[in-house]
Structure 1
Amino acid sequence: MHHHQSPEMKTCIDNCLACYRECLSTAMNHCLEMGGKHTEPQHFRLMMACAEICRTSAHFMLIGSEHHKHVCRECAEICSQCADDCERIGDMQSCVDACRRCAESCQKMAA
């Protein structure tokens, strides 16, 4: 049996991987260099959690696991939180955009 990925799922995988890349590199480069509120434990942990759940969501969809719906639901929630927090701190628009895109497509996958 060959597992077929819908165009929506392919888009969601791409958005998850893009968000994973964006959150991780923004945290490790931009945030660590900026310091201050960019490295507050709560914010920094949220960015790490966001990167990891995005990677995991993409992985679940790529392997064709039925559980991707649950993971995507959680991913959408964490991405929304991360987007809000990055917006609050400011100067991280590309991260905010990546998180919002990912949250939106994961919401559709979870439905």
Structure 2
Amino acid sequence: MNQPTSSALDNQILLDALNRCVAACEHCATACLNEEHVKHMVGCIRLDRDCADICALTARLVARGSVHAKHIMKECVEVCRLCEAECAKHNHTHCQQCAAACKACADACAAYMG
């Protein structure tokens, strides 16, 4: 039975973080739309959507071994950090969970890039 290589394990850890971030951002954006003062959540919703999209794209590029993955990953880290900061401003559980997922994703991407 073949053991996965370190590179394959690193990829899986990164893909898991990216996919958890996508899910957290999508959940947060949807939950923000249901908040009583939704107008106060517009910035959060926009960043959630951007972050989910760039994380999904990054995951696809990493999964296929694209030479463009690390380039896009730099942008992914930037957007994740922005989304983390925005979500951290809000006391809603979904925002706090999203902030944590964004931080973990940005950290995983940064570690992967070295």
- Same fold per TM (> 0.5)? yes
Deviations 1:36-94 (CA, angstroms, capped at 9, x unpaired): 312x2x33211110000010110000111011101111111110110000011232211
State TM-score, norm by structure 1. 0.87
Q: How many percent identity over aligned positions?
A: 30
Contact 1:72–1:109 (Cα < 8 Å) also in 2: no
State TM-score, norm by structure 2. 0.85
Q: Which runs of 5+ in 1 are unaligned?
A: none
In the other structure, the counterpart of 1:73 is 74
Measure the CA separation in 2 of the matches of 1:89 and 1:95.
10
- 2:107 is the alignment partner of 1:108: no
Equivalent pairs counted in the alignment come to: 105
- In our comparison, the structure showing a higher alpha carbon Rg is 2
SS of the equivalent of 2:103 reads: helix
Question: CA offset at residue 110 of structure 1?
Answer: 2.7
SS of the equivalent of 1:108 reads: helix
In the other structure, the counterpart of 1:23 is 25
Deviations 1:1-40 (CA, angstroms, capped at 9, x unpaired): xxx7432221111100110011012201x100001312x2
Q: Which runs of 5+ in 2 are unaligned?
A: none
